[in-house]
Amino acid sequence: MTNNIKNNPMWAFLFGQVRSCHPGVPDALVKVPLFDHLSKRELRIVTGIIHHRTYQEGEFVFQKGQPGAAMFIIDEGEIEIVDPDQDEKCNVIARLGENTFFGELALLDDSPRSATAVAVKLTRIYAFFRADLDDLMNSNPHIGSHVYKSLAMIIGARLKATNEQLFNK
Amino acid sequence: MNNYLTSEDRLLQQQRARVLYVVSGLLVAGISVYLIWALRELILPIIIGMVMAYICLPLIDYLKGKRFSRFWAIIFLFGTFCLSLFYIINLIGQVVPDQREELELKVRVRYKIDQKFNQIMGLGSFAIIDGGNFFYSLLGKEIEPLKDSVDQVLRLSDSERKMLEKLHAASSATVKAAGGEKYWDYYQVNRRRDAERKRQQEIVKNDLRQEPDATPESTGGGESLLLVMFNAISLWLITPLVFLILLFDDGKLKKGLVQMVPNRYFEVTLMVLENINAALGKYLRGTAIECFLMATSFSFCLFVVGLDMRWAVSIGIIAGLANAIPFLGPVIGLVVGVLYAIMAEEVNSVFHFINPDNLIFAILVVVGVVQLIDNAVFQPYVLGGSVDLHPLVVTVGVMGGAVIFGFAGMLFAIPAIVVMKVVVFTLFDQLRAYYII
C-alpha cells in the first residue's frame, strides 16, 4: 500500500515522496542515495553543478590508476567496472545500470582509481566533480554536509559488508 | 546504423569529420580574431568586469552560506559596490576643482613644475636651450619633451585666459592686497616664459613645424571633451553588466564550455580549471586585499604628514590601486605624491618641522615606509606564496604587457603569467596521469 502511494504521481506530487517529477531535476539524481534527504530546492542546486556526459559503447569513463576527480551517476545505459590487472580479458567486477553511481571515492581525494569503468552501450552519465562539492560546502554547507554524511554512510556500509564477507570466509 | 558501415566508409567518414572540424575551427578562429580586433576597445572594460566578478564570487558564496539567496547576495554586494563607488567619486569630486580653482590650479602647477625643473636642472628662470647643470646635460633632452607635453596640457586656452583675467579684475582689492591672488603672479611669469620659449624655439627650429598656438583648443573644445567623456562612460557601462551577468550566471558558462570538451579530456580539463581557479583566485583576491591595505596605509600616512584629508585619500586610492602593477605601482604612487608636494603651498602636519619646502622629502619617507610595511607585512601575510614568480619573469612580463597592450597590459600581465604557469605546470602532469600522453 505504501509503495502504491509512493509510486502514484499525484500522491508523490502532493507529499513529495517520489521526486522524479521535480521539474529540472534528473530522475537519476533523485534516486541516488547520496542525495537522499535533500529538498527539491537543494536538488535543483546540485543539478546546477553536475555535468552531463554521453559515452559511446566501449568508451572508457576512467581507467585504473588515473587520479579520481569526479563521481558518476548513470542516467541511461550500462557501465562495466573491470579490473584490467587480472588478465588480458579484464575481470568484470560489476555491471551497473540506470540510477546507480560509481567512483564516489574521488569525492574525497584524488587517489588513483582502483578499477576501470567502461560503457557497455551508449550511456548517459552525470558527473559530480570533487571541487564543486568543496565549493558547495562554502556556498551551501547544509547540502554539502548532507552529501558528505551520505557518502560516509555508504562507505561505512560497504566496509561493514566487506568485513562480514571476510569473517564468513 | 554504424554497424553497417564498411571500414572504408568509416575512414571516409573520419576524413569528412576531420575536414569539417578543421574548416569550422578556422572559421571560428577567423571570426574570433576579427571580433576581438573590431571590439578591442571593449576588451578592457569586459576583463575588469570579469575580474571583479571573479574576486566577488567567494563573497557571494559566503553570503549564501549565511542563508542569503543568490539573488539577494548579488543585490547586496552590487549595492555595497555602488555605494562605495558613489562615495569615492564624491570624494574625488571634492578634490576636483571648480572652474575658477581649475584655472588657478593649472597656472600654479605649470609655474611650480617649471620652477622645480629649472631648479633641478640648473637653468635660469627662462633658459631653454643654453645653460644647465650635469643633470640637464644627462637627462634634460629626455625629460624636456615630457615636460613640454605636460605644458601643452596645462597651457590656458584663449577663452580660459580671458576668463582668468575677468576673474582677476572682479576680485576685490582687499583680496589682492592680502596676497590672495598669488596665482596672478604665477600667471604673469608663465606668460613671460611662454613668450621667451616661443622666441627661442623660433630661432632654433625656424624651418620646423611651429609649436601649436597657445590656444590649441577651439571653441568647440568643450563639446569634444564632453563627447569623449560620454563615449568613455558608455564604453565602461559594460563593466557592471558583465559583473552582474557573471555573478548571476552561477557557473553555467563554465559548464557550457566543459560540455564541449571530449570525454577523454573531461576530467583533465576539470582538474586544470580547478588548479587555475585556485592559483588565480589566490593571486587576485590577495592583490585586491593588498591594494586596499596599501591605499589605507598611504591615506593615513599622507594625512599624518600634513595633506588635506581629501587629497590624502585620493592619492592613497591611486597609489593603492597602482600597487597592483609590480615594480611600477610604487613609482606611480611616488610620482603622484611628489607632484602634489611640488604644487602644495600649505601643510597642516602634526610634525611641525614639515613645511611645503620639505614636503617632498616627507612624501618620499611615506612612500618608503609604506613600501616597507608592504614588503614586510602585507605581501607575506596576504599574498603568501601565491605568486611564486622569478623577479625577471615579473619585470619582463610587465614591460612586455605594457609594450603590447599599454596600461591594461601592465595590469594584467602577472595574472596572465600566473594562468600560463599553472597551465604549463599542471597540464602535462595531468595529461600523463590520465594516460593521454
Q: What interface predicted TM-score (ipTM) does this complex get?
A: 0.78
Smallest CA-to-CA distance from B183 within B164, B196, B157, B158 is with: B164
Stronger pLDDT, B148 or A94, i.e. the higher one = A94
Q: Tell me whether strands A79-83 and A70-76 are parallel, antiparallel or unpaired.
A: unpaired
Predicted confidence band of residue A7 (pLDDT cuts 50, 70, 90): very low
Which sign does the torsion angle of CA A73, A77, A81, A82 carry? Answer: negative
Question: In this complex, which of B251, B263, B433 lies closest to A66 when CB atoms are compared?
Answer: B433
Q: What is the mean pLDDT of chain A?
A: 82
Pairing of strands A79-83, A116-119: antiparallel
| pLDDT at residue A1 in the model | 42
**Contact status, residue A99 vs residue A43, Cβ threshold 8 Å:** no
Is residue A64's pLDDT more than 80?
yes
What integer pLDDT is reported at residue B207 of this predicted model?
60
Question: What pLDDT score was predicted for residue B400?
Answer: 87
Question: Once rounded to an integer, what is the mean pLDDT over residues A80-97?
Answer: 81
Q: Determine the pLDDT at residue B224.
A: 57
- Residue-wise pLDDT tens digits, A97-131: 998 999 999 999 888 998 899 999 999 999 999 99
Within 10 angstroms of residue B304's Cβ, the number of other Cβ atoms is 15
Q: Which residues of A touch B433 (CB under 8 A)?
A: 66-67
Task: Measure the CA–CA gap between B261 and B270, rounded to whole angstroms.
Answer: 10
Closest CA to B384 of B293, B233, B261, B279: B279
- Yes or no, beta carbons of A67 and B271 under 8 Å apart: yes
C-alpha angle with apex A103: A115 to A23, nearest 5 degrees? 145
pLDDT at B154: 78
Return phi, psi of residue A53, to 5°. Answer: -130, 150
CA–centroid distance for B293 within its chain = 17
The 3-state DSSP class for residue A88 equals: coil
Alpha carbons B112 and B118: distance in angstroms, whole number? 10
Tell me which residue of B139, B98, B87, B101 sits closest to B117, measured CA to CA.
B139
Helix (H) or strand (E) holding B414: helix B407-433
pLDDT over 50 (residue A13):
no
Q: Do A53 and B263 touch (CB under 8 A)?
A: yes
pLDDT at position A43 over 60: yes
- pLDDT tens for chain B, 437 residues long, are 455 667 788 888 888 888 998 999 999 999 999 988 888 888 888 888 888 888 888 888 888 878 788 888 888 888 888 888 888 777 777 766 667 777 777 787 888 887 777 777 777 655 455 567 777 777 777 777 777 777 777 777 788 888 877 877 776 565 555 555 677 788 888 888 778 777 777 777 676 555 454 444 444 444 556 666 667 677 788 888 888 888 888 788 888 888 888 888 888 898 888 888 888 888 888 888 889 999 999 999 999 988 888 888 888 988 888 888 877 788 888 888 888 887 777 778 888 888 887 888 888 999 999 989 988 888 877 766 666 778 788 888 888 888 887 777 888 888 888 888 888 888 888 888 888 87
Contact between residue A100 and residue A74 where contact means Cβ atoms under 8 Å apart: yes
A140–B65 CB contact, under 8 Å: yes
Inter-chain contact A51–B255, Cβ cutoff 8 Å?
yes
* Alpha-carbon A6 to chain mean position: 22
The residues pairing with A70 across neighbouring beta strands, listed in sequence order, are A129
CA distance A126 to chain B (A): 12
Q: Chain A, 106-165: which have a CB under 8 Å from a chain B CB? A: 110, 127, 129, 131, 135, 138-141
Nearest to B272 by CA among A131, A136, A101: A131
- Give mean pLDDT, residues A15-27: 58
In whole angstroms, give the CA distance from residue B66 to residue A138: 10
Residue with more model confidence, A5 or B86: B86
Query: For residues A46 and A146, what is the distance between their CA atoms, to the nearest angstrom?
Result: 12
Rounded to a whole number of angstroms, the distance from the CA of B377 to the nearest CA of chain A is 28
Q: Hey, what's the cell of B277?
A: 581557479
Residue with cell 578499477: A115
> Which among A51, A59, A139 has CB closest to B64?
A139
pLDDT digits (tens, 9 = 90+) for A128-168: 999 999 988 888 888 999 999 999 999 899 889 889 888 87
- What does the alpha-carbon distance between residue B322 and residue A116 come to, in Å, rounded to a whole number? 52
Q: Checking DSSP bridges between strand A123-129 and strand A51-55, what pairing results, if any? A: antiparallel
Place of cell 633658459: B127
Hey, what's the cell of B353?
Answer: 618641522
* pLDDT > 90? residue A78: yes
**CB-CB under 8 Å, A67 with B433:** yes
Residue B339: what pLDDT?
83
From the centroid of its chain, how far is CA B115?
A: 28
Asked if A26 contacts A47 with a C-beta cutoff of 8 angstroms, the reply is yes
A73 touches A101 (CB < 8 A): yes
Q: Do B259 and A135 touch (CB under 8 A)?
A: no
Q: Give the gap in angstroms from C-alpha A93 to the nearest C-alpha of chain B.
A: 22
Q: Which of A26, A56, A30, A29 is nearest to A123 (CA)?
A: A56
* Structural domains for chain A: 2-164 (2.60.120.10)
CA distances (Å), B19 to each of B8, B12, B15, B23, in order? 17, 11, 6, 6
Give the C-alpha separation, A103 to A81, whole Å. Answer: 10
Please compute, for residue B94, the number of CA atoms within 13 A of its CA located in the half-sphere on the CB side. Answer: 12
pTM of the predicted model over 0.80: no
Grid cell at residue A115: 578499477
pLDDT confidence bin for A88, thresholds 50/70/90: low
Q: Are B294 and B374 in contact (CB under 8 A)?
A: yes
Total number of residues shown for chain B: 437
Q: Collapsing DSSP states into helix, strand and coil, what is residue B167?
A: helix
Pick among B56, B60, B267, B432 to test the A interface (most A CBs inside 10 A):
B267
Q: What is the pLDDT of residue B25?
A: 92
